[in-house]
Copies of this chain bind each other. A is one copy, B any other.
Amino acid sequence: MQKIVECVPNFSEGKDLAKIKKIFQAAGGVGSKTFGLEYNSDHNRMLFTIVGEPEHVLDSAFASIKIATKLIDMSKHVGQHPRIGATDVVPFVPVAGVSLRDCVLLSNKLAKKVAEELKIPVYLYEAAAKKPENKNLADIRKGEYEGLKIKMRKPDYGPAKIHPTAGAVVIGARKHLIAFNVNLDTPDVEIAKKIAGIIREKNGGLPGVKALGFKVDGLVQVSMNLVDFEKTNFDEAFREVEKLADKMNVKIKSSEIYGMVPLETLIRAIKTTFKAKEFNSGQVLEKRIYE
């Protein structure tokens, strides 16, 4: 079986199309596929997906990090989304023929390369974390780029001092994450914040759900990261947000599934929503071709 890894690097550039294009195109190497470029000017942030064999994906990720380091100046960066670096976070995700452990090894390899060749401090997070306090991305990003310039914890690789323009990078390994936003039919961002507060796992909400309330492009949204769709899938998160919004007499306007998802998330959503217990991915025509 072919070894396939997914990598979803996030960079702090969501406005300058020429720069966005350069960073994205730099990742297009032999033996890996890059796609799913998304960017948002309010967040001032971009992300895309790389898939392929582990070593090729590592090379592709490094190439885009190198360009982002040249093009992005964090001392001038403004955006709504928390971030600590030009290359903000680089997760490796097992897709086929590789374990989460393999992705941890790959994270260490990339971290070493970024630290040595680009002189940027690197923190390892999630399954790759070397310290419990680095497991959670939000904890590493606390204080953001500006805060790290003043006081910085010791990184896992690289210099103990923040890179003046590139900041620091978070690299790690995790399961596939679903970025899911639910937009509310209200101008009141406090309602989104309240719902986000209730549903996030940290506050005793839904397992594997991280949530924030935002106002983006005039939309009031509950912005979620579903870190384990086998525990809480996007359809379940949607219904929970809908239920909570309903209590405040607010309707759902729309939702957004951001970036790539494994087919299994769709299958699970359909099984649960339509009580179709027997439905499975073997019934999807395209899958017969790809398998």
Q: Which residues of A contact B (CB under 8 A)?
A: 4, 6, 33, 35-36, 49, 51-52, 95-96, 176, 234-235, 238, 252-257, 259-263, 266-267, 269-270, 273-279, 282-290
Contacts and interface: CB of A to CB of B under 8 A. Distances in A.
B290 A287 contact: yes
A286 B254 contact: no
Contacts of A238: 274
Contact of A261 (B176, B253, B254, B283): B283
Contact of A282 (B35, B235, B276): B35
Q: State how many copies of this chain the complex holds.
A: 2
A1 to B, nearest CB: 11
Secondary structure at chain A's binding surface: helix, strand, loop or mixed? Answer: mixed
28 contacts: A4-B285, A4-B286, A6-B285, A33-B288, A33-B289, A49-B288, A51-B285, A51-B286, A96-B286, A176-B285, A238-B274, A252-B275, A254-B276, A255-B274, A255-B275, A257-B274, A257-B276, A257-B283, A260-B283, A262-B284, A262-B286, A263-B263, A263-B284, A263-B287, A269-B270, A270-B270, A286-B286, A290-B290
A273 to B, nearest CB: 6
A288 B266 contact: no
Given A266-B266, A274-B238, A288 B51 contact: yes
A14 to B, nearest CB: 17
A279 B263 contact: no
Contacts of A95: 285-286, 289
